[in-house]
Amino acid sequence: MELKFSKVERKGPITIITLSRPEVYNALHIDAHFELNKVFDDFAADPEQWVAVVTGAGDKAFCAGNDLKWQAAGGKRGWDKGGFAGLTSRFDCDKPIIAAVNGVAMGGGFEIALACDLIIASENATFALPEPRVGLAALAGGLHRLPRQIGLKRAMGMILTARHVSAKEGHELGFVNEVVPQGEALAGALRWAETITKNSPMSIRASKQTIRRGLAVSLEQAIEEQREYPAVKAMVASQDYIEGPKAFSEKRPPKWQGK
């Protein structure tokens, strides 16, 4: 598929996905959503790709969210089953996804970042769910993910005021993992991704799936059911499950196969 609104680069087992509409601060419309849904489908299905990093083209914006000018001009709205940017409703991908936030992350752009497993933000990054200021609401996951990630009162403080939050405050609130100098968001995210790839991808997928499913039920139920989760069963049946202890006993780096 020819990509018009995004770019994809593969660096070993790491997929770099760049939202590429810099003329509108990487704001997204229906065609971009459908394109990105296919991009993330391809990443999820590729056994050679273990971690994804999502960033925005240019040095001003990660993603300004919904393309309001497109909407105001009568442009059709909507997205595929994966949700906003093909990501916000993607609950079946057990591979880690990292947001490299290199500037503005507003509305749907912030929702994309919240849907990722980690957020690495440059010092000039700004986050907000400003939808109420234009008569909308953050219905691509922001109203649900933010309270779960930083607590109800802190989330209410951001959502009801629609205020902008700096990368530094985002780190203090707990939704940003690391703040890096301006221009280094992608490099910082790749550093995290490369560290993740030193671990067994089978273990990483089992860990992510267990965390996600476990948070939806009681602690007792999560512990009782975790060994029946598909990614956990796949890990136990994998070559990596044998290779890890063997490499440790032989005092050598493991050779992960991801199967």
Instruction: Provide the pLDDT for residue 98.
Output: 98
Instruction: Provide the pLDDT for residue 34.
Output: 96
Spacing of C-alpha 15 from chain mean position: 12
Q: What is the DSSP letter of 38?
A: H
* Residue type present at position 251: K
Helix axes of 201-214 and 239-249: crossing angle, nearest 10 degrees: 120
Reduced to 3 states (helix: H, G, I; strand: E, B; else coil), residue 170 is: helix
Contact in structure between 179 and 168 (CB atoms under 8 Å):
yes
Mean pLDDT of the chain: 96
Instruction: Provide the pLDDT for residue 70.
Output: 77
pLDDT(75) > 70? no
Task: Identify the residue whose tokens are 């997929």.
Answer: 15
Closest CA to 110 of 61, 49, 52, 152: 61
pLDDT(254) > 70? yes
pLDDT(251) > 70? yes
Condensed to tens digits (0 to 9), the pLDDT of residues 27-44 reads: 999 999 999 999 999 999
Query: How do strand 178-180 and strand 61-63 relate by DSSP bridges?
Result: unpaired
What's the rounded Cα separation, in Å, for the pair 134 and 10? 37
pLDDT level of residue 105 (50, 70, 90 thresholds): very high
Q: Report the pLDDT averaged over residues 220-236.
A: 97
Query: How do strand 178-180 and strand 118-122 relate by DSSP bridges?
Result: parallel
R_g over Cα of the chain: 19
What's the rounded Cα separation, in Å, for the pair 116 and 202? 19
Task: Identify the residue whose tokens are 């990105």.
Answer: 36
Strand positions, DSSP E, 87-203 = 97-101, 104-106, 118-122, 126-128, 165-166, 178-180
Contact in structure between 205 and 225 (CB atoms under 8 Å):
no
User: Is 131 one of the annotated active-site residues of the chain?
Assistant: yes
Q: What token pair was written down for 253? A: 């780096």
Task: List the catalytic residue out of 35, 48, 131, 172.
Answer: 131
Condensed to tens digits (0 to 9), the pLDDT of residues 140-195 reads: 999 999 999 999 999 999 999 999 999 999 999 999 999 999 999 999 999 999 99
Instruction: Provide the pLDDT for residue 211.
Output: 97
pLDDT(227) > 80? yes
pLDDT level of residue 207 (50, 70, 90 thresholds): very high
Task: Identify the residue whose tokens are 């005092």.
Answer: 251
User: Is 111 one of the annotated active-site residues of the chain?
Assistant: yes
Task: List the catalytic residue out of 23, 35, 48, 111.
Answer: 111
Give CA separation, 7 vs 2, 53, 166, 208, in Å.
10, 12, 27, 26
